[in-house]
Chain A
């Protein structure tokens, strides 16, 4: 058991809690970046080097920049709405209680399940080469679907955001 892994796990949990708890949107974004970086470390510890790097580049880099853009667009101040009276009485304690219940259920499921010992991996497991072979030889359709999905998302965003009156 390596202390790096434990540290990364602790940071990931703390980051997640920070996302949920912080009152200021910018703090949430930064906590999320922390969470994603810790996850990337865990990925690499799991021999998933390429996915760890993708996590850093795509999520912590590109997606988080997107979030920051939106936050700065909307104003980085604390959002006033969070202080108003909630319209849904008891939503917060109920949500937490349900979440805990759900976690207990998952925990029981994990405890009851006997996991086999991990198999030995060859030297190239999780590298770009192995990932590329899996993606392009076995799961070409996934690649196509991902491409299509991203394109639909881009077109959808443009359609959503474009102001109708700008063509005039």
Chain B
């Protein structure tokens, strides 16, 4: 395995994922939350490519491609929503958006 052992890549991926997760949980700015999600996408991509290399199979690459497409679409829609929220409230705090309240 080039660079380091498989375990190293997997742990790195887990670390990146958890950092992104903490970002989603801790930050209140939807923009930063969206970026944290991008970090999580990247962690998932890294994991897929690691195992693709491990098994010497190209399917992981195809999945990563799919992740890139989904990530791009998600970013586009998410940013559009942020713009909408700003337009109506002039500030963006996810805690203000409470339509889910029962």
In chain A, positions 97-136 with a C-beta closer than 8 Å to chain B are 98-100, 102-103, 106-107, 110-111, 115-122, 125-126, 130-131, 133-135
Q: How many residues of A contact B (CB 8 A)?
A: 89
Contact partner of B65 among A54, A74, A96, CB < 8 A? A54
Query: How far apart sit A101 and B3, CA to CA, in the bound complex (Å)?
Result: 28
Whether B61 lies near A91 (C-beta < 8 A) is: no
A-side binding surface: helix, strand, loop or mixed? helix
Q: How many interface contacts (CB-CB < 8 Å) are there between A and B?
A: 254
Residues of A within 8 A of B (CB): 1-2, 4-6, 9, 12-13, 16-17, 19-20, 25, 28-29, 32, 35-36, 39, 42-43, 45-48, 50-51, 54-55, 58-59, 62-63, 66-67, 70-71, 73-74, 79-82, 86-88, 91-92, 94-96, 98-100, 102-103, 106-107, 110-111, 115-122, 125-126, 130-131, 133-135, 138-139, 142, 145-146, 149-150, 152-154, 156-157, 160-161
